[in-house]
Amino acid sequence: MDFQKEIEIYFRSRFTLIVVVSFEEERIVEGIKQVCEQLNRQLLTWDHADFFQSVTKNIVAPSGIKDPLSALETIEKLEGDTVFILRDFHQCWHQQPKIIRKLRNLAQKLKFTKKTIVVTTPLSQLPEELKDDAVLLDFRPPDVKELDVILTRLISTPGVKVNLTTQGREKLLHAALGLSSNQAQRVFAKAIVSGGPLDDRKIDMVNAEKKQIIRESGALEFFAPSETMNDVGGLEVLKEWLRTREQAFGNEARDYGLPSPKGIALIGIPGTGKSLTAKTIAGLWRLPLIRLDVGALFGGLVGQSEENTRRALNLAETVSPCLLWIDEIEKGLSTGGGDGGTSLRVFGSILSWMQEKTKPVFVVATANNISHLPPELLRKGRFDEIFFLDLPTLQERKEIFEVHLRKRKRVVAEYDIDKLAKAAEGYVGAEIEQVIIDAMYLAFSDKENPGRDFSNSDVLEALKKQVPLSRSQSEAILALRSWLTEGRAQSASFNEKQQAQEQFVQIEISKN
């Protein structure tokens, strides 16, 4: 629901204590002012610096009320239908039982009046005593329409040159989604004064600024999609699954009745391309990619971890449709009891959000150590599918070699790909890439012919020197692969479970 419509309903329903969570005081005050004018109510603000200030014209602000308790007593005494915005008032109730008690008293007494107290705060943590008396509202960052108003105001300034196409303007506005109004204004202003007209080329600048702002939030990192499916060797079943859902976030899919995809879990052996796949999905679907660092959610203050989680998930919804990439989720979602239950609460918040979210946020969760994953995370309903990324097959190893040779601008036909792929049995994609790099070093530092191009023999030599994970940690890999053979996940390479089991047996026989 629109904020102004929602706040109007609360005012008319005589809600007496409303806590609005946001940094954007200006937008909150302006929105409430418009509602007060519609309902013919007066509006006052109070804060530690400027004390009482009148916002609407039909009221004179009381003077000299400097401490919060006196401000609450003044609110109780004032006559008329008035809304009081207490800015950053969360600082007043911290370890202040008198303030909390007075707020509770007022919340109960004002039910028989048309007076309402609105507290603005960047934190969603309420004192336990106020949770029954207060209603908590999240004030979201500006949407595309509001960003369009900001942009229109800036480009209407005399002397500003604009060469944006209709599509370019739409992309520019979508690039700014997730920013506050002040942040968006600063980013747009920078794009305008950075030299040359404001055109489609400035979209990259807005994306770069947004990436920096999101990174400063601590737990989120914005990625501009650059990888494609051609950068991933093998995994044909997973690729086909993704291709069939490429248009799932469009209006045609909504009109057809399709729900937005929820997400996928990519589990399996380290180095098989789980993280790379997450990046390529963003490129395939042409959606922004946001990486959530679960470990960075945790803070030292009481309630800080839960607050960081709420903000991160809200931001992901704001920039939707998007991909939310939770890398190595098992490391952040430890369910140990040594942190006073914080990890359990953060984990519960993420699980609840994944189950109940209505915004088109596609979650890509990757995991290496399956034993650390709580069973409720992988139950049906959290994800659309759970894919297991196994040791690459012979054909997949051929494709991986070709990908990395092309990546280093080598002619694939000059190498015996079949021979290399057979020699690399048991190697994962990351190990094959490292083998190519090691072979390049061998050729580059050749004493007899330094700087020569690397050959088949260099690659084979590098293969002999490297011990793949499938041999150095065979027990751990065997335990991981049991997930696939037991049918607890869909193979990213095979259509049928039986094929996966045959591949599993074949590799085990060849190893022995």
* Alpha carbon distance 174, 147 (integer Å): 9
3-138 and 229-389 share one fold: yes
Map out the domains of the chain as residue ranges.
3-138, 144-214, 229-389, 394-425+429-467
Phi-psi region of 20 (alpha: psi -120 to 50; beta: other; left: phi over 0): beta
Closest Cα partner for 216 from 333, 311, 91, 148? 311
Q: Which two tokens stand for residue 385?
A: 């599918």
| CATH topology for the 144-214 domain | Helicase, Ruva Protein; domain 3 (1.10.8)
CA 146, 150, 151, 156 torsion: positive or negative?
positive
pTM for the complete prediction? 0.72
229-389: which CATH architecture?
3-Layer(aba) Sandwich (3.40)
User: CA-based diameter of the chain, in Å?
Assistant: 95
* Alpha carbon distance 322, 288 (integer Å): 5
Q: What is the pLDDT of residue 421?
A: 92
Q: What is the pLDDT of residue 340?
A: 63
Cis upstream peptide for 321 (omega within 30°): yes
The phi and psi torsions of 460 (rounded to 5 degrees) equal: -65, -40
Q: What is the pLDDT of residue 8?
A: 94
Q: What is the pLDDT of residue 498?
A: 46
Q: What amino acid occupies position 503?
A: Q
Q: What is the pLDDT of residue 375?
A: 74
Bridge-based pairing state of the strands 289-292 and 220-223: antiparallel
Which single residue is written with the structure tokens 């469009």?
250
Per-residue pLDDT of the chain (512 residues; tens, 9 = 90+): 688 999 999 999 999 999 999 888 999 999 999 999 999 999 999 999 999 999 998 889 999 899 999 999 999 999 889 999 999 999 888 778 999 999 999 999 999 899 999 999 988 888 889 989 999 988 888 888 889 999 999 988 888 888 888 888 888 888 888 888 988 999 899 888 887 888 888 888 888 887 777 777 678 888 766 777 877 887 888 888 888 888 777 778 878 888 888 899 888 888 888 888 888 888 888 788 888 888 778 776 667 788 888 888 888 887 788 889 988 887 766 545 556 677 778 888 888 888 888 888 899 998 887 777 777 777 777 888 888 888 888 998 999 999 999 999 999 999 999 999 999 998 999 999 999 999 999 999 988 898 899 999 999 999 999 888 888 888 777 777 777 777 677 788 876 544 445 555 454 545 55
In this structure, the number of other CB atoms found within 10 A of the CB of residue 334 comes to 18
Closest Cα partner for 228 from 241, 214, 215, 243? 243
In this structure, the number of other CB atoms found within 10 A of the CB of residue 56 comes to 15
Q: Which CATH number is 3-138 given? A: 3.40.50.300
* Alpha carbon distance 328, 333 (integer Å): 9
Q: In what order do the strands lie in the sheet with 135-138?
A: 53-54, 42-46, 82-87, 116-121, 17-21, 135-138
